[in-house]
Amino acid sequence: MDIPIEQLRALSAIIETGTFDAAARRLGVTPSAVSQRVRALETTTGRVLLLRSKPVRPTEAGETVLRLARQVESAYDEAERRLTTSSRRPRVPLVVNADSLATWALAPLAEVAEEIELEILREDEAHSAELLRDGSAMAVVTSDPSVVPGCEVQPLGRMRYRPCASPGFVARYFPDGAGPTAYATAPVVIYDRKDALQHSYLRRRARRELDPPTTAVPASSEFLRAIELGMGWGLLPDLQSAASVAAGRIVAFDAQRHVDVPLFWQQWRLPSASLSRVGDALRRAADAALR
C-alpha cells in the first residue's frame, strides 16, 4: 500500500479528538478535506476504519492502521527535529499502572519531561498492552510478558504486595488470624472492576472462590487511604505501604503471605531517541526500586 502521510494524520487526529470537525481544526483544514482523506484511506486499505459514533472509534482494522499512523507520525517528527531547528518537543504517549506511578515511576519521568512531551495513560498493568496494540501508546509498563507484534519487551523487576488493613479492622475481622473463614466475610478494597489481584490472592489462599463485600477505589493514594480508614483490607505494594506500616496506621496482618507482580517495559520497535530516553530512565529507576 502507498498511503500518504496526510491520510494517516487525518485518521490519528480523528481518533484523538473524537470528531471530524475537531480533527479538521487540529490539522488546519476543512472537515470535508478530513472526510476525503479518510475515504481515500479506506479505499486504499479496502476496509472500514472508523465507526461514525460519538466519539468516533476505530474498527478492528482501524486500530491496525491507527498504530501504523502513529508510528509513521513519530518517525516523521523525529526526522523533522533532526533536520530543522524546530523547538517542538517530541511526544511520547505511554501507559504506566497506578501503583508504579504512585511509587517509583514518576521521578524518572520527571527527569525527561523538560525535553519530551509525555502523555501518561493510566491502566491496570495486566491490561495496558491493549493500548499498545491499538496504537494509543508507544510504550507500556505491563505485567504481561507477551510480545505485541512490532514491539520489544524487557523485564523491569517485581513489585511485592502484602495484604494490609487498619489495626481496628484486623481486630474485628481477623481476631483469630487470617484464614479462609475470615477472608470469606471480611470486606475487601479493589482498585476497579479490572483489578483481579485481591480475588486471585483469595483463590490461592482459600483454594476456592470467595465473594466477600467489595469496595472499588480507583486511585492509588485513595486506595491506601481507604484501607487506613478501615473500609476493607487490600493488597498494597511494600514501596507504598512502608510509611503507613511504620506509623501504625495499617498492619500487614498476613505477613508471611505476599504476591510478587512482575513488570515489563514494552515499546514499539522503532528508531526514536525520545522513546529510548524514556525507556532508559524508567529502567534505571526500576533497577533501583524493584525486586
* Long-range contacts of the stretch 42-48 (C-beta < 8 A, 24+): 44/1, 44/2, 44/3, 44/7, 45/1, 45/3
Pick the range with the lowest mean pLDDT from 58-67, 160-169, 185-194. 58-67
- Are the beta carbons of 287 and 158 closer than 8 angstroms? no
Does residue 126 carry a pLDDT above 70?
Answer: no
- When pLDDT is averaged across residues 169-194 and rounded to a whole number, the result is 93
Q: Residue 214 has what pLDDT? A: 95
Pick the range with the lowest mean pLDDT from 35-44, 74-83, 192-201, 218-227. 74-83
Could you give phi then psi for residue 183, rounded to 5 degrees? Answer: -65, -30
Q: Which whole-number Å values give the CA distances from 122 to 39, 97, 144, 181, 225, in the listed order? A: 32, 5, 15, 35, 19
Residues 264 and 88: their CA atoms lie apart, in Å, by 30
Does residue 130 carry a pLDDT above 80?
Answer: no
Q: Residue 233 has what pLDDT? A: 97
- Side-chain-facing half-sphere of 52: CA atoms under 13 Å: 6
Counting residues of the chain whose pLDDT is more than 90, the rounded percentage is 59
Diameter over CA atoms, the chain: 70
- When pLDDT is averaged across residues 84-108 and rounded to a whole number, the result is 86
Higher model confidence: residue 255 or residue 152?
Answer: 152
Q: Residue 223 has what pLDDT? A: 96
- Nearest Cα neighbor of 286 from 56, 69, 18, 103 is 103
Supply the Cα-derived Rg of the chain in whole angstroms: 23
Pick the range with the lowest mean pLDDT from 27-31, 71-75, 125-129, 144-148. 125-129
- When pLDDT is averaged across residues 230-235 and rounded to a whole number, the result is 97
Does residue 260 carry a pLDDT above 80?
Answer: yes
DSSP three-state, residue 139: strand
- When pLDDT is averaged across residues 142-170 and rounded to a whole number, the result is 92
Q: Residue 89 has what pLDDT? A: 78
Q: Which residues pair with 92 in a beta bridge?
A: 118
Task: Pick left, alpha or beta for residue 259 (phi over 0 → left; psi -120 to 50 → alpha; otherwise beta).
Answer: beta
Domains of the chain (ranges plus CATH)? 5-83 (1.10.10.10), 91-158+261-289 (3.40.190.10), 160-260 (3.40.190.10)
Flag whether the pTM goes above 0.85.
no
Q: Residue 80 has what pLDDT? A: 74
Higher model confidence: residue 68 or residue 37?
Answer: 37
pLDDT tens digits, one per residue of 94-105:
999 889 999 999
- When pLDDT is averaged across residues 100-125 and rounded to a whole number, the result is 88
Does residue 77 carry a pLDDT above 90?
Answer: no
Does residue 83 carry a pLDDT above 80?
Answer: no
Does residue 206 carry a pLDDT above 80?
Answer: yes
